[in-house]
Structure 1
């Protein structure tokens, strides 16, 4: 009897393995082929292929850094007193500061009648002494702060030596015109002056531009007592003025004696200072 040969003959086609129509189901319902979980493999591959969502980029608004506001600059960075006749960069700063407060001034660095009026308006509106002079109190107010004070609480004055030398220079300038004739409305060095023409001339020699008439000059300065008067201050009578020379003396251009002279003060004049 022929022996059954369990070996396939050479060259015989081998039927490839294919999964049964009734595929086994593994845990979770994944199709199983041998020991491989096809469904799990596919699911794993899909999970690996999905890109990770990037983190939300911060917005431009959150990244922006708020700018730091600079400290406000002082309106006036000079400690010098400013008054009618002052000129320069400090007056330009003053005019700009007054414009910020509602004035309409040309920023030309010349402290004239319009600037003087604007200063007085500002002082009136801010409960300051209304004298048209920008000293520590007015300057401090414009700068939004209190004026600089000494240990005792008083405003720090300008050096006495500087004020004294300027005042003496004013007196000396007036004395150079002694002998010039009196003439109403005149300001002609070496020839003739009226009273306010002489005071305007003497002050101009030290760089202070006073207005022309006696009334304007009085309004531009600060009235002081006789005990406070120093050489160079104005001595004022109704309709007349001269320059205080110290020692109860005045240099003035008077109708009588009709010339520029130095003489003893008479009556009860007032005193006006530009210090």
Structure 2
């Protein structure tokens, strides 16, 4: 009786026992499991390659899986070095209004610095512990810009008045002078006819493209108080309950109850000075 060889040859695979193993014998006696050739009977023939494993699901990169970070909200910078205040107009005021809207306001971006913009500036200054004067100077502008936006003009010293600003100041004086002789009448602003003190100042400023509030108290509150040494022609000269337009030197153009008309005369008493520059 033949005995089965129970010794495994080194390097030779063992064919599975049973009918399945017999059914999978290939030509020449080499055992085949699936498509893998077992044994070395076909040393000269090409070995069958093992089937490729089932493709794994493609790995999802961390970058693709992570949700995209939201883009930062657009912040508007106020780029001008010029002070902005009640009566200012133009693209710089549009930037200011947009910047205030970025900080929670809902102003109309119309480029006109009026009552609503003035109030919004004061609210911003109050909430940021700034001087509450309604004027957008270096500190307020820096806070609006996050203290990191460049300011045109550079440096830390105050910029010299632009030629356009000087022209505006002279235009204010010229407009006021053009009304000398008009009568005084409380609550009026009728060129060539009659004015009260704030009616004359609002008219003269309007000719230079600057909108002022109507009453004297509102005009004083909207501007910035300065010393006489800082005053320039076109600034306001202010007494309790009355104001006029500084004409330079020691003179003022005003519509006064006495002498009852628009005149240019010597400044009296100890007035204060208010500027919108």
TM-score, scaled to structure 2: 0.78
1:48 partner SS: coil
Aligned residue pairs: how many?
A: 253
Cα pair distance change 1:81/1:87, threshold 3 Å: same
Equivalent residue for 1:87? 89
Which digits, 9 at most, give the CA deviation of each residue in 1:168-203, with x for residues without a partner? 111011000011111111100011111000000000
Which digits, 9 at most, give the CA deviation of each residue in 1:213-235, with x for residues without a partner? 00000011000001111100000
Residue 179 (structure 2) pairs with residue 187 (structure 1):
no
Using the TM superposition, name which of 119-128 and 210-219 deviates more: 119-128
Deviation at residue 68 of structure 1 after TM alignment: 8.9
2:49 partner SS: helix
Equivalent residue for 1:51? 52
Q: 1:174 aligns with which of 154, 172, 176?
A: 176
Equivalent residue for 2:215? 213
**1:233/1:274 contact within 8 Å kept:** yes
Residue 109 (structure 2) pairs with residue 107 (structure 1):
yes
Structure-1 separation of matches of 2:201 and 2:34: 109
2:59 partner SS: coil
Which digits, 9 at most, give the CA deviation of each residue in 1:18-40, with x for residues without a partner? xxx99988844448x9x934215
Q: 1:264 aligns with which of 257, 263, 266?
A: 266
**1:180/1:190 contact within 8 Å kept:** yes
Residue 138 (structure 2) pairs with residue 125 (structure 1):
no
2:237 partner SS: strand
Equivalent residue for 1:200? 202
Structure-2 separation of matches of 1:48 and 1:40: 12
Deviation at residue 158 of structure 1 after TM alignment: 4.4
Structure-1 separation of matches of 2:54 and 2:169: 84
Residue 246 (structure 2) pairs with residue 244 (structure 1):
yes
Deviation at residue 55 of structure 1 after TM alignment: 5.1
Which digits, 9 at most, give the CA deviation of each residue in 1:36-65, with x for residues without a partner? 342158662497352234354232654468
Unmatched runs of 5 consecutive residues or more in structure 2: 16-21, 39-47
Using the TM superposition, name which of 250-259 and 71-80 deviates more: 71-80
Unmatched runs of 5 consecutive residues or more in structure 1: 1-20
TM-score, scaled to structure 1: 0.79
**1:164/1:231 contact within 8 Å kept:** no
Structure-2 separation of matches of 1:89 and 1:160: 16
CA RMSD of aligned residues (A): 3.3
**2:76/2:99 contact within 8 Å kept:** no
2:220 partner SS: helix
